[in-house]
Amino acid sequence: MSQRQAKPLPRAQRIELEFLEGVYRRIPTYEPLLDFLGFLYTKLGRYEDGLRIDLELTRLRPGVPYHWYNLGCSHALLGDRTAALTALKRAVETGFGNSDLMKKDADLASLRGDPEFQELLARVESAHL
């Protein structure tokens, strides 16, 4: 799956994105900015850009479970099952425990019927009873 066809952005959103990308060029390791920019890229259907940001976040802060979870979501959105499951496993290993989010997150829809995903979900649920 590739990125969705980019829709023209409303002026305010275009200005916001341009501003954030400008700040990113100046401060490429500022974690809160990266986190928001990755979210925004994904919301806009720019999945490859979101993946690039998520990879950077996991490189900068490999112990943050949320970053690994987002990386798994990005890979799932791009149709890379193996990379998505690898990242989600790392998220769980580093402390991610929100099974409800895993069940509902639309970004993970492509994995819902996967036995390996179901096993991981069961592992999260049993660890947090």
Q: What tens digit of pLDDT does each residue of 104-123 get?
A: 999 999 999 999 999 999 99
Q: Is residue 101 part of a domain?
A: yes
Is pLDDT at 1 greater than 90 in this prediction? no
CATH number, domain of 105, equals 1.25.40.10
Angle 71-72-78 from CA coordinates, rounded to 5°: 90
Task: Kindly give the interhelix angle for 31-43 and 65-77, rounded to the nearest 10 degrees.
Answer: 20
Q: Is residue 84 part of a domain?
A: yes
First to last CA, the chain: 36
Structural domain harbouring 41? 11-127
pTM for the structure as a whole: 0.89
- C-alpha R_g of the chain: 15
Q: Is residue 2 part of a domain?
A: no
Share of the chain above pLDDT 70, in %: 94
- pLDDT for 2-42, tens place per residue? 455 556 788 988 898 999 999 999 999 999 999 999 999 99
Q: Is residue 52 part of a domain?
A: yes
